[in-house]
Amino acid sequence: MTQEVQQNQQPGKQIVPLLGCMLLFSVMNVTMFNVALPDIAGDLGITQSLAGWVVTGYAMVYAIGSLMYGKLADLFPLKTLMTIGISLFAAGSVIGFLSDGYLWLLTGRLVQCAGASSVPALAMIIPARYFPQERRGAVIGVIASFIAFSSGVGPIVGGFVAGALHWKYLFLLSLGTLLVLPFLRKALPNEQRRAGSIDALGAGLLAASVAMLMLAITASNLVYAAAFAVLLSLFIARSLKSREPFISLSLFTQGPFRYAVAAQFLSASTGFSIMLLTPLLLKSTFQLTADWIGLVLFPAAMAAAVFGRVGGKLTDRYGSIPIMLIAASLMIAGFVSLSLLAGIAPWVVALCLILPNVGFIFMQSSVSKLVTLLLPRENIGSGMGIFSLAGFLAGAIGGTAATKAADSGIPFPAILLCLAFVIVVQICIVFFVLKGRVGSLSASAGR
């Protein structure tokens, strides 16, 4: 292979900050509409539950899209997929801004998300595909930091724009991705389409089953749950028959990948639960308004953003398993501290939140790198898509369970201790299952 060809297969030096800019717009778009839901309901004359679909529908398509783009990345050039995704993101933003009714507003949000979901999915594939093992954790840590920062500033930016202008102007912020796209295209390597085909029927069955599962979780509806079970069974049957299944079931039956996904699921369920639980705690305990709640949450989000790169570098140096155990310990310490001290004052809550947030970002960096080491190169896209989907599903399940527990009158300290117990279970998986199966691999990658 000539030096020129090798250079064409390497990303430009600015690829990571450019990805960070894209993640800022994509991830922030998930959270900044939350604060505008009451205004949307009032302006359009709809119920709060209908307005909630502006966020719920976005989250559902976001989860499905992360899986779909991951699989497509096994076959198509990342430059092409990113261009299509950002174009859809921008088109949805224009539709949403120009919308004059609820249906057009919801259409704009769903088109937006069909494109925006390409960014986190492909951003996690880039370190696995283009960076050597000894640098991969640091790059993933930087990406995780951008995600944490974007999640933290989303509600603040959303509240400011909706208050100073109008909630429709939130759509225009997403057009900033068009300014970044030309530079990102230049930084991405030139690739050829790889051999293989897409099992469209399998993809449709899997997407429909994920949608039904998300609806079953958010609506607590047994009909959706039954539809999920049927569609999932059909997807498995289709995958067993197909010569080129949409997702190879061997990913779940061979090797330790499934245990890494289980570890991700447990940590993500608690990480997203605390994000939803804390505003309820602050509202019921201290009667804080939305803007003050955002300020209480902000220090922990910024701490996670600052320490994300540190977690990635530590993973590169010491391996994934030790950092996963440290991350789990930080999360447990944070949940226990909150259960004991959260009733004292809002500033105490702000300080205690730093521990689980930093622990969660350490966990994301370490387990993400571990997954990239476990996957064969030809399955990195679909494997990372499954990994991302597990995180979204865990967030939906954990968040729903935590908020319903709070609504039913279970004390916040008891819920927080349950979250700590979930992480104890995760530690058992990491220490007793994953450590023996991948410890040498992870450690050698860290040296």
pLDDT digits (tens, 9 = 90+) for 277-317: 888 888 889 988 766 877 888 899 889 888 888 999 999 99
In this structure, the answer to whether residues 44 and 143 fall within a common structural domain is: yes
> Residue 5 above 50 pLDDT?
no
163 plus 270 within the same structural domain: no
Tokens of 27: 């991830």
Cβ-based neighbour number of residue 122 at 10 Å: 27
Question: Greatest CA separation found in the chain?
Answer: 67
Question: Judging by beta carbons within 10 Å of its beta carbon (0-12, 13-18, 19+), is residue 242 exposed, middle or buried?
Answer: middle
Give residue-wise pLDDT tens across range 71-108: 899 999 999 999 999 999 999 999 999 998 999 999 99
- Mark whether 270 and 211 lie in a shared domain: no
Q: What is the structure's pLDDT at 227?
A: 96
Instruction: List, for residues 348-406, the tens digit of each pLDDT value.
Output: 999 999 999 999 999 988 999 998 888 887 788 888 889 888 888 888 788 888 888 88
Strand locations in 100-240 (E):
none
Highest mean pLDDT among 190-199, 205-214, 249-258: 205-214
Query: Do 227 and 153 sit in the same domain of this protein?
Result: no
DSSP 207-236: HHHHHHHHHHHHHT-HHHHHHHHHHHHHHH
Residue 427 lies inside a defined structural domain of this protein: yes
pTM of structure: 0.83
Please report the pLDDT score of residue 35 as a whole number.
Answer: 73
**Is 179 domain-assigned?**
yes
| Residue 226, pLDDT score | 96
**Is the domain of 261 the same as that of 232?**
no
Encoding tokens for residue 270?
Answer: 């608690």
pLDDT in tens, 233-253: 999 999 998 888 988 888 887
At 27, the amino acid letter reads V
Q: Are residues 314 and 206 in the same domain?
A: no
Residue 4: inside a domain? no
From the number of C-beta atoms within 10 Å of its C-beta (0-12, 13-18, 19+), residue 39 rates as middle
Check pLDDT > 70 for residue 187.
yes
CA distance linking residue 235 with residue 241, whole number of Å: 10
Q: How far apart are CA 48 and CA 368, in angstroms?
A: 36
Same domain? For 127 and 104 the reply is yes
Q: How many whole angstroms separate alpha carbon 177 and alpha carbon 23?
A: 9
User: Which amino acid would we find at residue 418?
Assistant: C
Whether 335 maps to a domain, the answer reads yes
User: Six-digit token pair at 442?
Assistant: 């992870």
> Across 6-128, where does the E strand assignment appear?
none
Q: Could you tell me if 23 and 96 lie in one domain?
A: yes
Residues 37 and 170 in one domain: yes
Q: What is the reported pLDDT for 262?
A: 92
* DSSP conformation class of 194: P
Number of domains in the chain: 3
Does residue 263 sit in the same domain as residue 178?
no
> What is the pLDDT confidence band of residue 444, given thresholds at 50, 70 and 90?
very low
Give residue 266's pLDDT: 94
| Residue 283 near residue 293, CB atoms below 8 Å | yes
Residue 2 lies inside a defined structural domain of this protein: no
Give the tens place of pLDDT for each residue, 411-421: 999 999 999 99
Is residue 6 included in any domain, yes or no? no
Distance CA 210, CA 222 (A): 15
More reliable by pLDDT, 267 or 6 = 267
> Are 422 and 351 within one domain?
yes
Q: In which domain, by residue range, is 354 found?
A: 250-447
140 within domain boundaries: yes
Over residues 130-181, the pLDDT tens digits come to 888 888 888 999 888 888 888 778 877 887 888 788 899 999 998 999 999 9
Q: What is the DSSP letter of 433?
A: I
- Summarised one tens digit per residue, pLDDT across range 7-26 is 446 777 789 899 989 988 88
Of 188, 215, 236, the domain-final residue: 188
Q: Any idea what the CATH number is for the domain that residue 257 is in?
A: 1.20.1250.20
The answer to whether residue 1 sits within a structural domain is no
Which residue would you say has higher pLDDT here, 259 or 35? 259
- Asked whether residue 148 falls in the same domain as residue 18, the answer is yes
